[in-house]
Amino acid sequence: MGWSAQDARALSDRILAFSRADECEVALERSESSHTRFAANEVTTSGTASDLSISITSRGKGKSGTVQINGTESAELERAVRRSEEMMAVAPENPEWVEGLGPQKYQPVEGFHDRTAGIGAEERRGGVLAALETARAKKLNAAGFFETGASRSAIANKKGLFGFHRSTDASYSTTMRTEDGTGSGWAGTSSPRFPDIRAADLVATAAKKALASSGPRDLDPGRYAVILEPQALADLLLGLGFALSARTADEGRSYFSRPGGGNRIGDKIFADGVTLRSDPFDPRVPGRPWASGGGGFFGGGIGNPGLPSRRVTWIEKGVLKNLSVDRYWALKNRKEPIPFSASLILEGGTGSLDDLVAGCGRGLLVTRFWYIRTVNPQTLQLTGLTRDGVWLVERGKIVGPVNNFRFNDSPADLLKNVEAMSAAVSTGRMIVPAIRARDFNFSSKSDAV
């Protein structure tokens, strides 16, 4: 897929030339992906997909209108621009409208790898075969998904802003189930670099977990110490990331709101070992050179779309150091805008998961969570289910598998109660350790496997 910055600029210039609005913004995304899916110990689907997404936003006098198309003929592009202008004209005025950005300097993000971009079904074959052969040999039932792809994205506007970014991604996951249906194991990861996907190791982990989790004993819900594997912790940290907003805190709508007004920046909130930061330039979890936003890629002034991405420390040794600040809130309060990056890194310790287990008197070891939903944004309380293996730990030893649970707890409270962390590793989307924490609330049993 040879789509260059010059190609993206030429297309965006063609679109912008049709604009009659005060402002016009264009976001382009060209992607190509291929996958192999397997289930019931057989390959089920294999295919490729390619797409070009074009988002056009006309803006002016406090209004905006966005149209998305994927055609590149001049007549199609002009119709889309006119339609966005018509939508802008009838849209209600946005009281938080902010003028579009001028030219920006974007620091390159190294997220593209030629080998990954060229991977096809033949190169994925070994990883799929490892799962199928292992499952058959161990009398397990395997399902999974192996996908590789590449994308090129660009943003541009009438004020001279232009950015271009290339990225690749390879992802692999597999679930193994025992024949009696009582045991389930999962393992997976993703990376911009195809060689990072060690499918055979992931298959071995999933198979081991499936066998070790079969025939679980019945255990009552309650508050337990927990040992969360990195994926389980990453599942919960997404909820915390969405709460790192200065506006919601300043308006009293957030866990980070200060009683009486303002936010809690500078307060010691979490355990001493908790340091959370964003680094979109970390090659393990690269982001984009610019921030994205809602309401179209530029968001009509919503959030921080188009601002250069940056490294930010959100929490340092338990102290809240920063909250994201969108451009409207920054202008209103004379603050610097701080875009949020999803490239989250929670710094860990030096030990291993086995060390966390050895230091636990009594608690539960959790593989991962799923079906997570927000219960109370102001307390960050979430609910969800454990999945693919839960084990009881007593006196530093894994006693055996137990039933799954529904939890009702907050990632903020979890980070308050951290006792120990392993070394941080990549889950594909975040860099996080495994952790051991006190007093996690499992509210009921779950029939999930």
DSSP of 183-248: -EEEEEEEESSGGG--HHHHHHHHHHHHHHTSSPBP---EEEEEEE-HHHHHHHHHHHHHT-BHHH
pLDDT at residue 449 is higher than 90: no
What pLDDT is attached to residue 341?
Answer: 83
Can you give the pLDDT at residue 242?
83
Using one digit for the tens of pLDDT, what is the confidence trace for 176-234?
999 999 999 999 999 999 999 999 999 999 999 999 999 999 999 999 999 999 999 99
**pLDDT score of 90 more than 80:** yes
**Which residues, 6 or more positions from 41, have their beta carbon under 8 angstroms from its beta carbon?**
132, 135, 136, 141, 142
Residue-level pLDDT at 239? 84
pLDDT for res 305:
82
Read off the pLDDT band of 299 (50, 70, 90): very low
Domains plus CATH for the chain?
A: 5-210 (3.30.2290.10), 216-449 (no CATH)
User: What pTM does this model have?
Assistant: 0.94
Q: What is the spatial distance between Cα 26 and Cα 171, in angstroms, rounded to a whole number?
A: 29
Confidence at residue 241, expressed as pLDDT on a 0 to 100 scale:
84
The DSSP secondary structure of 261-294, one letter per residue, reads SSB-TT-B-S-TT--EEE-TT-TTS---SB---S
pLDDT digits (tens, 9 = 90+) for 260-277: 999 999 999 999 999 999
Residues paired with residue 392 on neighbouring β-strands, in sequence order: 364, 400
Q: Tell me the mean pLDDT in the region 391-404.
A: 98
How sure is the predictor about 303, in pLDDT bands with cuts at 50, 70 and 90?
low
pLDDT band at 302 (very low <50, low <70, confident <90, very high): very low
Tokens coding 172: 């692999």
Q: Is the pLDDT of residue 304 over 90?
A: no
**In this predicted structure, what is the pLDDT of residue 2?**
75
Q: Which of 411, 407, 412 is nearest to 446 (CA)?
A: 407
Percentage of residues in the chain having pLDDT higher than 90 = 93
To the nearest whole number, what is the mean pLDDT of the chain? 95
How far apart (Å, rounded) are the C-alpha atoms in residues 23 and 298? 11
